Structure 1
Amino acid sequence: MDAVIEQVLAAVERHDQVALKALLHPYLHWNEPRLALRGRVKVLARLAASPAPGPPDSYELRDGQIYRWTSTGVPDAG
Structure 2
Amino acid sequence: MAITHKSTNNKYWRGCRKNKTLLHCWWECKLVQPLWRTVWRFLFLRIAFAILGLLWFHINFWFVYSSSVENVMGNLIGIALNL
Same fold, TM-score > 0.5, yes or no: no
Greater share of strand: 1
TM-score class, shorter? under 0.3
Greater share of helix: 2
Normalising by structure 1, report the TM-score: 0.22
Q: Which has the larger radius of gyration?
A: 2
